[in-house]
Chain A
Amino acid sequence: AQKITQTQPGMFVQEKEAVTLDCTYDTSDPSYGLFWYKQPSSGEMIFLIYQGSYDQQNATEGRYSLNFQKARKSANLVISASQLGDSAMYFCAMREIGGGADGLTFGKGTHLIIQP
């Protein structure tokens, strides 16, 4: 079973609109972290935002916010006022503090294209 599911392979959004990228996760570990990374066409992996499983409030970083719904096991990324430079692949990832290779488990990504 997939641990991280991103159901939107691709999205087209008009510039200046808000965008929600979906992410659901599956874990039995009570301690985990959820991350979003951006990968532009140049290829580098850029960290955007983090949410811990025990955090009471949703994380925010500038135009990025994470809509964390623990009971639903979802961690959607919201980008407000989208810009042309937001066009990229976006990956949701989880880190389970307790087992495996202690690395990040990634979803398959969402290719976001911002249109002028």
Chain B
Amino acid sequence: DTAVSQTPKYLVTQMGNDKSIKCEQNLGHDTMYWYKQDSKKFLKIMFSYNNKELIINETVPNRFSPKSPDKAHLNLHINSLELGDSAVYFCASSHRGSYNEQFFGPGTRLTVL
């Protein structure tokens, strides 16, 4: 059973388009996250979200928005894609406020042309 899954694995699109990446976890965790890994492999938190609270990293443009239909899903919607958005996006989940590890999805490689 896949613990954290993401679709699609690869996403190639034109500048200016709007796209979404889906994430699902079957671990019963209450908190989900989105991370961005740039071309230099640097990973940075974008959002954390549970059913009560969305916490946004202040450096994330408002073109990025997380959408959660239920506790097991956290989708990432990106408006007006830019070249600099090209990266690998990882979804992760864990229990909020605990020391437990975060489980990561396989990542989505986004390429903006």
Roughly how many angstroms separate A105 CA and B59 CA in the complex, as a whole number?
A: 14
Q: Which residues of B contact A45 (CB under 8 A)?
A: 90, 92, 104, 107
Interface size on A, residues (CB 8 A): 24
Indicate if the CB atoms of B99 and A52 lie closer than 8 Å.
yes
Interface residues of A in 77-116 (CB under 8 A from B): 89, 91, 93, 95, 97, 100-106, 108-109
- What's the nearest-Cβ distance from chain A to residue B88, in Å? 7
Interface presence of B56 (CB below 8 A): yes
B contact residues, total (Cβ < 8 Å): 30
**Residues in chain B near residue A105, CB distance under 8 A:** 45
CA distance A101 to B55 in the complex (A): 5
Report the stretch among B12-20, B36-44, B75-83 that lies at the interface: B36-44
Kindly identify which residue among A37, A44, A106 contacts B44, using a CB–CB cutoff of 8 Å: A106
Type the 1/0 row for A27-64, where 1 means its CB is closer than 8 Å to any CB of B.
00000010101010001110100101000000000000
* List of B residues within 8 angstroms of A37 by Cβ: 104
Closest to B9 in A: A43
Measured between beta carbons, the chain A residues less than 8 angstroms from B42 are 106, 108-109
Is B31's CB under 8 angstroms from A101's CB?
A: no
Contact among B40, B41, B55, B98 for A100, CB-based, below 8 A: B55
Given contacts A101-B55, A103-B45, A106-B43, contact A95 B88 (CB under 8 A): no
